[in-house]
């Protein structure tokens, strides 16, 4: 299967199902067997996913992509041994990151719900083609891309997590802040925005925010 067929949703589903790490092997860049640049799409997808993982508190080293040909069996074995050792050292998903099972489920579900929107952002604002892995890493680590992620994705992701908590039960700003690991001012900003859009409201009797 072409590595370009590996969708962001596949990776998130693997983590949601308890996998501690995900490895993707693809053709060398500029050597696509299907002349579709699927390996370039896969590399971009992994860069996007790593930024999302880091944002929600997961170690991005749990996701790895390597380019290799069918004739590089020794390289494949070396890479897989190295990756397996790294995952073993990291330990179970969420545990070494200090995220409990409920918190991990909440974060992964919030990202999963944004996947169609994230695909649109990637296509419209982040679709690039470089010749080397280093160029992709530099691009996705740039200040401009970090700003785009914050403005276009991370704020929506934060609101999604907050609304998921409010659908479970009424919460105060402090409770939301503690559960999600956000500072109170950031939570307040997102709550005010969601309230203006009609997605949440403050219940004066409960002194908590609730989902309408």
Q: How many other C-beta atoms are found inside a 10 Å radius of the C-beta of residue 165?
A: 19
| pLDDT greater than 90 at residue 3 | no
DSSP state of 61: G
pLDDT number for residue 69? 85
Give the list of residues 6+ apart from residue 168 with CB closer than 8 angstroms, or none.
none
Place of tokens 């990202």: 111
| Tens digits of residue pLDDT in 136-180 | 999 999 999 999 999 999 999 999 999 999 999 999 999 999 988
On whether the CB atoms of residues 164 and 109 are closer than 8 A, the answer is yes
| Tens digits of residue pLDDT in 4-53 | 889 999 999 999 999 999 999 988 888 877 777 888 899 999 999 999 99
Distances in whole angstroms, Cα of residue 14 to Cα of each of 20, 205, 208 = 8, 42, 35
What's the predicted TM-score (pTM) here? 0.89
On whether the CB atoms of residues 107 and 57 are closer than 8 A, the answer is yes
């Amino acid at each position: 299967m072409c590595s370009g067929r590996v969708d962001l949703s596949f990776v998130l589903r693997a983590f949601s199902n308890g996998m501690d790490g995900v490895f993707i092997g693809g053709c060398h860049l500029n050597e696509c067997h299907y002349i579709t640049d699927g390996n370039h799409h896969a590399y971009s997808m992994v860069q996007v996913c790593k930024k999302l993982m880091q944002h929600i508190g997961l170690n991005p080293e749990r996701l790895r992509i390597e380019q290799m040909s069918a004739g590089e069996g020794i390289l494949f074995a070396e890479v897989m041994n190295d990756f397996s050792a790294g995952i073993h050292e990291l330990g179970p998903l969420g545990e070494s990151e200090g995220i409990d099972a409920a918190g991990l489920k909440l974060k992964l579900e919030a990202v999963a719900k944004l996947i169609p929107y994230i695909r649109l952002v990637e296509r419209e604002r982040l679709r690039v083609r470089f010749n080397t892995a280093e160029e992709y890493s530099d691009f996705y680590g740039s200040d401009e891309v970090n700003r785009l992620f914050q403005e276009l994705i991370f704020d929506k992701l934060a609101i999604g997590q907050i609304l998921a908590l409010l659908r479970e039960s009424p919460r105060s700003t402090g409770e939301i802040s503690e559960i999600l690991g956000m500072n109170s001012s950031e939570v307040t900003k997102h709550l005010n925005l969601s309230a203006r859009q009609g997605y949440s409201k403050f219940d004066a009797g409960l002194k908590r925010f609730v989902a309408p």
